[in-house]
Amino acid sequence: MSLFGSFFGRNTKTSAPVARDRLQILLAHERTGRGNESDLLNKLQAEILEVIKRHIAVDQDKVQVKLDRGNSVSMLEIDIEVPQMRPSGQP
């Protein structure tokens, strides 16, 4: 069946290599103990917020932290919703 399937171009892209790549990236993080990034991220988030709070009132709930782990580079995205700033002296 699978022989015929591949003859007729069904499922030409195999899924096993995708599985291997995904596991390699994931396990590379978990084995080195980097799997527990949340402590670092917690600190980063707290400190970044602290700096921003010196200047603007930020709602703790309006902060989103996003992560996309890659093979060599990971992307950390911290999204802070900043309330509308009014010129000082106005209510």
Residue 89 engages another protein in binding (rule: CB under 8 A)? no
Residue 16 engages another protein in binding (rule: CB under 8 A)? yes
Stretch that binds another protein, among 11-19, 47-55, 83-91 (CB under 8 A): 11-19
Asked if 83 contacts 59 with a C-beta cutoff of 8 angstroms, the reply is yes
Name which of 43 and 89 has its Cβ closer to another protein: 43
- CA dist 28 and 35 (Å) reads 9
* Burial grade of 40 (CB within 10 A; 0-12, 13-18, 19 or more): exposed
Name which of 17 and 89 has its Cβ closer to another protein: 17
- CA dist 68 and 34 (Å) reads 14
Contacting positions for another protein (CB under 8 A): 1-2, 4, 11, 15-16, 18-19, 22, 25-26, 30, 35-38, 41-42, 60-61, 63-70
